[in-house]
Amino acid sequence: MFSPLNICRTLSLNHNFISLIEDGTFNGLGMLFTLHLQDNLITELNPTIFFGLISLRKLFLHKNQITTLERDLLKDVPMYLSMSISSYKQDAKEYLVCDPNLCWLKNDEKTRKVM
């Protein structure tokens, strides 16, 4: 989708009512450093959507409707990544679920420098 923008360093898709990001959406954006996806309606993230984003260092996901994260979500992103994530459903006032299945994120924080 964005492959003609292969030298793009920052992509801002915030405030766009995005609810689904399909696999391959970010193909060809190997130089992307910052990705803004905050303030959308995203409910889940497929672990393969960030494949190929080898330069990604800042990922903004806050103010979406994400309630859990897949274990392999960050497997294809660089070792040093600053990620902002929170979830808020306005009607139900639900937040990102803190459960034992998210322990991998804390472990990755130590080894991958997730901030």
Residue 97, classed as helix, strand or coil, is coil
- Token pair recorded at residue 6: 């292969």
Higher pLDDT, 78 or 16: 16
| Domain residue spans of the chain | 1-115
**H/E stretch holding 59:** strand 58-60
Q: Residues 28-72: pLDDT tens digits?
A: 899 999 999 999 999 888 888 888 888 999 999 988 888 777 777
| Spacing of C-alpha 10 from chain mean position | 14
The pTM for the full model equals: 0.75
Homologous superfamily of the 1-115 domain (CATH)? Ribonuclease Inhibitor (3.80.10.10)
Q: Could you tell me if 32 and 3 are in contact, meaning their C-beta atoms sit under 8 angstroms apart?
A: no
